[in-house]
DNA sequence: ATATTTGTTATATTTATAATATAACAATGC
DNA sequence: GCATTGTTATATTATAAATATAACAAATAT
């Protein structure tokens, strides 16, 4: 899977990496059971330090996106409990809605934008046997 | 308007302040044309440095939430162009949808969550003559 | 069996950013 | 005139990010 670090961004490298991996899982670019490159390989590939990659992997493990297996490496394994995820999403939406309200963007418009973003994902997502 | 800094949070003070002010505008706790306390007063009130408050105000000014007037102080003034805001919201939604897809949270569920968050805001928001 | 690669941990250093501390300036209000 | 406003400048401290080596145990490969 393709990863690119923006070295001029104000976002921390490990955050960029973490988000791109989540995006990769969401678009089925990388699927459940599949492995990511080793921390050393990926670090070499994208031009950052091994520990920075390790930090991203560790957080993704803690947040329930990866399982770190000695034989298979970093394996995509989505086993977080739904309730906590829903609370996280509610929190994210709260910030988004706040900004929308400040700009007189209506509830309807937000729903439309949400649909558009979903359409965007459907365009990128690859066919899958799992239904995800 | 009420502001409280969580000193044990991992979020930077100026980010906490910035988000709480945006939340305050969204809930009409503070309205367009109204002023925030001076950087020195607010800093004193919430127990942080003047420059940290100034940083939050400056960013809010740059992002089109405040206008800094010498006579009135930091005045709420929402004049950002809609297109850029919509792009920002689309970006935020993209991240949220990605996480939702990883957890098998459906489009319908997200729409429902969005409605719930709106309901939450409607509960908090105070009546206003402007329609905001 | 030996060598290599894996995740993982430890320690140290450098760099960047956040936060604080004083100080000062020009413009405004009282 | 005097206090307060946003604003800028400079310096220091504290924290976090990023890098650099190194090492260990477990697993894989040769």
Mutate to test the interface with B, among A10, A30, A92, A108 (most CBs of B within 10 A): A92
CA of B30 to C1' of D5 (A): 20
Q: Which residues of B68-94 are buried (b: 16+ CB within 10 A; e: fewer)?
A: beeeebbbbbeebeeeebbebbeebbb
pTM of the prediction?
Answer: 0.89
Of B25, B90, B115, the CB nearest to A113: B90
Domains parsed from chain B with CATH numbers:
13-76 (1.10.10.10), 82-124 (no CATH)
Mutate to test the interface with A, among B18, B92, B121 (most CBs of A within 10 A): B92
State how far residue B14 is from chain A, nearest Cα, in angstroms: 15
Asked if the Cβ of residue B76 lies within 7 A of any atom of strand D, the reply is no
The predicted model gives A4-33 an average pLDDT of 93
Tell me which residue of A78, A84, A20 sits closest to B104, measured CA to CA: A78
Phi, psi for B42 (deg, rounded to 5): -65, -40
pLDDT at A129: 46
Share of chain B above pLDDT 90, in %: 69
Q: How is residue B126 annotated by DSSP?
A: P
Asked if the Cβ of residue B72 lies within 7 A of any atom of strand D, the reply is no
B111·A114 Cβ contact <8 A: yes
The nt closest to A73 (CA vs C1′) is C6
Give me the helices (H) in B31-130, please.
Answer: 39-46, 50-62, 82-102, 107-124
Determine the Cα–Cα distance for residues B95 and A31; give it in Å rounded to an integer: 18
Q: pLDDT tens digits for A81-132?
A: 789 999 999 999 999 999 999 999 999 999 999 999 999 999 987 665 444 4
Q: How far is CA B120 from CA A93, A100, A130, B19, B127, in A?
A: 11, 14, 35, 17, 15
pLDDT at A87: 94
Tell me which residue of B5, B119, B17 sits closest to A90, measured CA to CA: B119
pLDDT at B92: 96
B99·A88 Cβ contact <8 A: yes
Determine the Cα–Cα distance for residues A113 and A115; give it in Å rounded to an integer: 5
CA–chain centroid gap for A75, Å, is 14
CA of A36 to C1' of D27 (A): 17
Structure tokens at B25: 């505008």
């Amino acid at each position: 899977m393709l990863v690119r670090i923006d070295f001029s961004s104000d976002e921390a490298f490990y955050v960029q990496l973490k988000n791109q991996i989540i995006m990769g899982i969401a678009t089925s670019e990388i699927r459940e059971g599949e492995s990511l490159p080793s921390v050393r390989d990926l670090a070499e590939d994208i031009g950052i330090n091994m520990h920075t990659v390790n930090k991203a992997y560790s957080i993704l493990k803690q947040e329930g996106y990866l399982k770190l297996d000695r034989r298979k490496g970093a394996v995509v394994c989505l086993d977080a409990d739904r309730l906590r995820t829903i609370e996280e999403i509610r929190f994210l939406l709260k910030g988004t809605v706040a900004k929308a309200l400040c700009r007189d963007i209506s509830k309807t418009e937000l729903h439309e934008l949400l649909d558009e973003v979903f359409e965007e994902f459907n365009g990128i997502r690859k066919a899958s046997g799992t239904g995800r």
